[in-house]
Structure 1
Amino acid sequence: MVQERNLQGKGVCWSLRLWSAAVISILLLSTCFIAHCVVTYQFTMDKPNTRLSELHTYHSSFTCFSEGTMVSDKVWSCCPKDWKLLGSHCYLVPTVTSTDSAASWMKSEEKCSQMGAHLLVIHSQKEQDFITNILSTHAAYFIGLRDSGHRQWQWVDQTPYDESATFWHKGEPSSEDEKCVILNHRNDQWGWNDIPCNHKHKSVCQMKKIYL
């Protein structure tokens, strides 16, 4: 009888150990899963915040816009203060009174790059009209298009150059020695004109807007 009770006791102890091991395993797996979810969520959420932090080194403040229709799915998009928003991009247009913004094409691109941006890229009539409506007709503006050699036009952001969506003035481009492009107002209309890259003009900077 005593031996039988000892065997039963050992069986109960073994069962308890198995249950304990199973419970501990489940808890460990649950903890790992939860931790993974938290890390993944934090990593996903940190992406825009990281870019926002990086841009804060160039810009002191941002203007944000709500793009959601309900509180639950509200998305915020932001541009640096004083930049204009169109679609998925922000644009910085120099003021009419600014006198220190004239520079060569290369220096203009460097200035944009120092703000986390690049020179203006235009792929549609909508973009062309949006920008020209806020530019001064008395100035010319470098855009992010130049000849990489043998009249192979290339945008600074590496997007394809589409000949069907260009806005050259009549007779332009006109010279293989003129490898950079300005946006200017001529003969009562806005258009593109190729010029030497060392000429000094104003410029328009562009960056992708930030989503929060």
Structure 2
Amino acid sequence: MLPQHILLVLIIFVERGSTQDPTNCRQSWKLFQESCYYFGTQKATWPEAEAYCWSMNAALVEIETEGESNYVESQLRSIHKHASDSTADQSEVSYWLGGNDIEIEGVFKWVKSDLPMTYTDWSPGQPDDAGGEDCVELRGAFQYHWNDLPCNIPHHFICEAPAFEDIINIIGK
């Protein structure tokens, strides 16, 4: 009986994997290109947000292109506009991203990939390290540009996972 179950799982994997069509993400996640995004409604410090994302087999978002940045901004504007059935106060919108300069001051890198940030969208005058600011946030008050901030301030956060992660998890379980 066990070999039949393994065969069934492999058939599902091959069938879904061969189409290369990442049309679904986990419930409450949003698809853009080949990644799924979770826009957290809860607030957490940067380390707590990182742990939460890891617990879902994801990581804090690494915004690597202008297109991805525009997508994230449009989602946040939409989320916060609908929060009060009118245009919400965007100045209160702050989300943790997956970058910091904890290892080397002034050298921001993405934590999951351990790569330096090659695309950035800093607000003018940022990063400024005004008092131990090591983590990267996306801030509505700064026209959805990035800011460095102390990592211990609770904010919303964005997790990112590959669109095919769910298939891998099915096989692994």
Calculate the TM-score normalised by the size of structure 2. 0.72
The letter of the residue matching 1:127 is E
Does structure 1 conserve the Cα–Cα contact (< 8 Å) formed by 2:61 and 2:160? Answer: yes
Does structure 2 conserve the Cα–Cα contact (< 8 Å) formed by 1:48 and 1:210? Answer: no
Structure with the greater alpha carbon radius of gyration: 1
Where does residue 28 of structure 2 map in the other structure?
A: 82
- Please say if 1:134 is aligned against 2:75: yes
Where does residue 106 of structure 2 map in the other structure?
A: 151
Q: Which runs of 5+ in 1 are unaligned?
A: 1-41, 50-65, 68-72
Q: Distance in 2 between matches of 1:160 and 1:124?
A: 14
Shift of 1:142: 0.3
The letter of the residue matching 1:205 is C
Q: Distance in 1 between matches of 2:52 and 2:94?
A: 17
Larger relative contact order (C-alpha < 8 A, sep ≥ 6)?
Answer: 2
Shift of 1:191: 0.5
Q: Distance in 2 between matches of 1:202 and 1:209?
A: 22
Q: Which runs of 5+ in 2 are unaligned?
A: 1-6, 81-89, 168-173
Distance 1:48 1:184, change over 3 A: farther
Shift of 1:171: 0.3
RMSD in angstroms over aligned alpha carbons?
2.9
- Please say if 1:112 is aligned against 2:65: no
- Please say if 1:183 is aligned against 2:138: yes
Shift of 1:46: 8.0
Percent sequence identity over aligned pairs: 27
Does structure 1 conserve the Cα–Cα contact (< 8 Å) formed by 2:61 and 2:98? Answer: yes
Q: How does 1:1-212 map to 2 (within 5 A)?
A: 45=10, 74-77=19-22, 78-94=24-40, 98=41, 101-135=42-76, 136=80, 137=90, 138-147=92-101, 148-158=103-113, 160-163=115-118, 165-175=119-129, 177-187=132-142, 189-210=143-164
* Matched residue SS, 1:186: helix
Q: Once superposed, which parts of structure 1, at least 4 consecutive aligned residues long, lie more than 3 Å away?
A: 45-49, 73-76
